[in-house]
Chains A and B, each alone.
Chain A
Amino acid sequence: MSQRSERRGIHVDQSELLCKKGCGYYGNAAWQGLCSKCWRDEYQKARQRQIQDDWALAEKLQREEEAAYVSSHSSSQTQPPQSHSQHSLATFSKFEEKKTNEKTRKVTTVKKFFSPSSRTAPKKESHEAKTPSPSITRQSSIETDRVSRDFVEFLKTLHKPGREIHKHSRAFIDSMGNKKQDLSAEELSECVQDFYQGMSDRLLNHFKGSSEKVDRVMDQVEKYIMTRLYKSVFCPETSDDEKKDLATQHRIRALHWVTIQMLCVPVEEEIPEVSDSVVKAITDIIEMDSKRVPRDKLACITSCSKHIFNAIRVTKNEPASADDFLPTLIYIVLKANPPRLQSNIQYITRFCNPSRLMTGEDGYYFTNLCCAVAFIEKLDAQSLNLSPEDFERYMSGQASPRRQDDPAGWPQSGSRVNPVLTQIQHNLSVLSSLEKRQQQVIEGAQSLEAELTEWQESVAREVQEILERYPLDIKPRASAIDAENVENDRLPPPLQPQVFAG
């Protein structure tokens, strides 16, 4: 604990070029004054410590859960020996004092998490508890390290102001690390926004007359800070983001029956290029959750929107307008059902550099996405030009717009709430119908085969009858007139034409 704090406080000084470990080699600012070998050793130690800490925390949580399961007064009885555990317990008590409801929810979560593993053997417990930590830690730490190195490299080009920026950024991240347990999501947001504002003001003094340069530096600062803070500030436990995510996800799933016609979407998905743009738009909006930096999430939204505009342009053969764009975006969101949609929107709203959200292309498309999500939440029969009865039937799953073409084929009895079961019923009905039609085709084929055979036989039989009724007498063949005639000597000599004189 104290060692970690001390390492973070190391001040990089140009005069101290040698490795801090005193091994004789030159150090590097990117490695906090260490040479590559010592840095690697230090990094390994830090990772090992992190893994051990995670494992110890998991064990402690399990013990607490078991104690709570046995008795409600377990917290006072347990006396953890380590100072680290003591600190965690103190934090937990403080947390408990502030938010009783959150504590209840957390205990429930912990209980669910450890409930299955409590029944298995101790060896398996420790193994399972330990397994997830290394890969998760490795993945996030690799990305964090890369962003940190990129940030340091970028700041080197700024010289003295760069060092100041780095110092302030790291100090801010450390302070946020200390605060995160106690602050609500809105308070975290205010801290970050205040930091952006302060940093921006300071930069304006440095780069007089160049707002473009300030914007580029602020982008890098945002990237560095939010990559480091992402794990603790995205979908924080103190907020109801997770609940909203599930509600939105369920809502969008329930609206799977909404069609292009209901929303008046000017997109013709039969056209290959349009269909391709729609698929790309859906991919972009789904990909938003995989990004960590608010700016990268906004880039996904912007890319999605541009594909939508392309789909509209190809369909209508003219540039799209906002009257066309918003319903199409709603349609894309309904088809995509992006993961953690509300958490992502809240994260962008809270932690993005605010100048980008209220103006600019990214801000425009983000605003439209917020409008689309708000519309989906409030959507009712009137919004889709439907009657309330039809809307309710579609929502409950007992009817579907596509199935209206064949009402007789669908039983009206019973109300099926589960959309999956409804779909299965529908599929079974369709399969049954197909089976009947196939049976009819087979019977038709067999009938046709029989008719063909019968026709062939009847034709043969008729021909035979005609032959029997009118027997054919064939007379002997007459010889040709010009054939050699053995009786030629009987004939008189041929007449010779006589030429009479004039």
Chain B
Amino acid sequence: MSETYDFLFKFLVIGSAGTGKSCLLHQFIENKFKQDSNHTIGVEFGSRVVNVGGKTVKLQIWDTAGQERFRSVTRSYYRGAAGALLVYDITSRETYNALTNWLTDARTLASPNIVIILCGNKKDLDADREVTFLEASRFAQENELMFLETSALTGENVEEAFLKCARSIPNKIESGELDPERMGSGIQYGDASLRQIRQPRGSAAQTKQQCNC
């Protein structure tokens, strides 16, 4: 919280257990694979400040439990999330087949306009691949998701996945699909002056001002 930033985005990392969700998180936050960080003090709660379109954005990333038996009780994670990484394991068809359920939960519980990127993790284990790039790419296209194959081990595409997601959020704000003023949009201002600048533009903001009066 000591770092200054213009925006704060709440991100989720969702997907079945064992797909490497926390490895992706650690790779993005610490730039190292989990196995290599045995003796470091782990950053259980992930956040990192990045630059998006000239603005400093703090990404606050929530790791979630992926076991099937917890699925019905982990819905409160989604409240107020602006973006999500939907992770499956390319060497496990079972984790790919579960994507539809995760996607439904995300769009129902967070927001229909939540920004989601599909991540096929463990790309370094191509010899054991069970899900082809083409198949997953088609699934992403049909569901209007961005798609990348990543490797938390080598770090390939990990940063790109988060940044690609983060870059899409300002676009959605401008197009009106995401309303930062609404509580629960997952976006918070870090700077009050920025909020004042933004308020007059939106008609919703003006309506809110009238309500305040």
| Residues in chain A within 8 A of chain B (CB atoms) | 201, 204-205, 207-212, 214-215, 264, 305-306, 309, 313, 317-323, 325-327, 354-355, 358-361, 364-365, 367, 370-372, 374-375, 378, 382-383
Known pairs A208-B192, A355-B188; A320 contacts B42 (CB<8 A): yes
Stretch at the interface among B73-81, B96-104, B120-128, B153-161: B73-81
A selection of 16 A-B contacts at a CB cut-off of 8 Å is: A201-B212, A204-B195, A207-B192, A309-B44, A318-B38, A319-B22, A322-B66, A325-B63, A325-B65, A358-B184, A359-B10, A367-B79, A371-B77, A372-B73, A374-B73, A382-B69
CB distance from A312 to the nearest CB of B (A): 9
Q: Among the listed B10, B66, B73, which residue makes an inter-chain contact with A375, where contact means beta carbons less than 8 Å apart?
A: B73
What 0/1 readout, one digit per residue, does chain B (178-213) give for beta carbons within 8 Å of chain A? 000001101011111101000000000000000010
A315–B60 alpha-carbon span in the complex (Å): 27
What 0/1 readout, one digit per residue, does chain B (15-48) give for beta carbons within 8 Å of chain A? 0011001110010000000110110101111000
A205–B199 alpha-carbon span in the complex (Å): 14
A210–B69 alpha-carbon span in the complex (Å): 43
CB distance from B13 to the nearest CB of A (A): 8
Measured between beta carbons, the chain B residues less than 8 angstroms from A305 are 44
- Interface: B175 (CB within 8 A): no
Is the Cβ of A371 less than 8 Å from the Cβ of B70?
A: yes
4 closest A-B pairs by CB: A321-B22, A319-B42, A358-B80, A326-B65
CB distance from A376 to the nearest CB of B (A): 9
- Interface: B8 (CB within 8 A): yes
A209–B189 alpha-carbon span in the complex (Å): 10
CB distance from B206 to the nearest CB of A (A): 15
Known pairs A354-B183, A367-B77; A323 contacts B42 (CB<8 A): no
A251–B183 alpha-carbon span in the complex (Å): 34
Q: Among the listed B10, B26, B191, which residue makes an inter-chain contact with A358, where contact means beta carbons less than 8 Å apart?
A: B10
- Interface: B62 (CB within 8 A): yes
CB distance from A419 to the nearest CB of B (A): 25
Is the Cβ of B64 less than 8 Å from the Cβ of A322?
A: yes
Is the Cβ of A371 less than 8 Å from the Cβ of B73?
A: yes
Is the Cβ of B76 less than 8 Å from the Cβ of A370?
A: yes
Q: Please report the number of residue pairs spanning A and B whose Cβ atoms sit closer than 8 angstroms.
A: 109
Is the Cβ of B34 less than 8 Å from the Cβ of A375?
A: no
Measured between beta carbons, the chain B residues less than 8 angstroms from A320 are 22, 42, 44
Given contacts A321-B21, A326-B74, 17 further A-B contacts (CB under 8 A): A205-B192, A215-B1, A264-B67, A317-B38, A318-B37, A321-B63, A323-B21, A326-B67, A326-B70, A327-B65, A327-B67, A358-B79, A359-B188, A367-B76, A371-B74, A375-B73, A378-B72
Is the Cβ of B192 less than 8 Å from the Cβ of A323?
A: no
Q: Among the listed B1, B34, B67, which residue makes an inter-chain contact with A212, where contact means beta carbons less than 8 Å apart?
A: B1
| Residues in chain B within 8 A of chain A (CB atoms) | 1-2, 4, 8, 10, 17-18, 21-23, 26, 34-35, 37-38, 40, 42-45, 60, 62-67, 69-70, 72-74, 76-77, 79-80, 183-184, 186, 188-193, 195, 212
Measured between beta carbons, the chain B residues less than 8 angstroms from A317 are 38
A210–B190 alpha-carbon span in the complex (Å): 8
Known pairs A211-B191, A358-B79, A359-B60; A319 contacts B34 (CB<8 A): yes
Measured between beta carbons, the chain A residues less than 8 angstroms from B37 are 318-319
Is the Cβ of B42 less than 8 Å from the Cβ of A309?
A: yes
Known pairs A318-B38, A326-B70; A371 contacts B191 (CB<8 A): no
Is the Cβ of A323 less than 8 Å from the Cβ of B184?
A: no
A301–B4 alpha-carbon span in the complex (Å): 26
Closest to B18 in A: A323
The A contact surface, by secondary structure, is helix
Known pairs A367-B76, A367-B77, A371-B65; A209 contacts B1 (CB<8 A): no
Measured between beta carbons, the chain B residues less than 8 angstroms from A378 are 72-73
Measured between beta carbons, the chain B residues less than 8 angstroms from A319 are 22, 26, 34, 37, 40, 42-44
Known pairs A319-B37, A321-B63; A211 contacts B76 (CB<8 A): no
A383–B73 alpha-carbon span in the complex (Å): 12
Measured between beta carbons, the chain A residues less than 8 angstroms from B26 are 319
Is the Cβ of B66 less than 8 Å from the Cβ of A323?
A: yes
Known pairs A318-B37, A358-B10, A361-B45; A210 contacts B192 (CB<8 A): yes
Measured between beta carbons, the chain B residues less than 8 angstroms from A309 are 42, 44
Measured between beta carbons, the chain B residues less than 8 angstroms from A383 are 69
Is the Cβ of A209 less than 8 Å from the Cβ of B193?
A: yes
Is the Cβ of A306 less than 8 Å from the Cβ of B38?
A: no
Q: Which of A306, A326, A370 has the most CB of B within 10 A?
A: A326
Closest to A197 in B: B183
Measured between beta carbons, the chain A residues less than 8 angstroms from B10 are 358-359
A204–B189 alpha-carbon span in the complex (Å): 11
Measured between beta carbons, the chain A residues less than 8 angstroms from B80 are 358-359
Q: Which of A201, A317, A360, A365 has the most CB of B within 10 A?
A: A360
Q: Which of B1, B22, B188, B189 has the most CB of A within 10 A?
A: B22
Closest to B66 in A: A323
A402–B80 alpha-carbon span in the complex (Å): 43
Q: Among the listed A205, A211, A264, A321, which residue makes an inter-chain contact with B190, where contact means beta carbons less than 8 Å apart?
A: A211
CB distance from A428 to the nearest CB of B (A): 36
Measured between beta carbons, the chain A residues less than 8 angstroms from B17 are 323
Measured between beta carbons, the chain A residues less than 8 angstroms from B186 are 358-359
Measured between beta carbons, the chain A residues less than 8 angstroms from B190 are 211
Known pairs A319-B34, A326-B65, A359-B10; A204 contacts B22 (CB<8 A): no
Measured between beta carbons, the chain A residues less than 8 angstroms from B34 are 318-319
CB distance from B207 to the nearest CB of A (A): 16
Closest to B212 in A: A201
A321–B62 alpha-carbon span in the complex (Å): 11
Is the Cβ of A306 less than 8 Å from the Cβ of B65?
A: no
Q: Which of A305, A359, A365, A374 has the most CB of B within 10 A?
A: A359
A355–B62 alpha-carbon span in the complex (Å): 16
Closest to A210 in B: B192
Measured between beta carbons, the chain A residues less than 8 angstroms from B62 are 364, 367
Known pairs A215-B1, A313-B42, A323-B18; A318 contacts B189 (CB<8 A): no
Is the Cβ of B189 less than 8 Å from the Cβ of A211?
A: yes
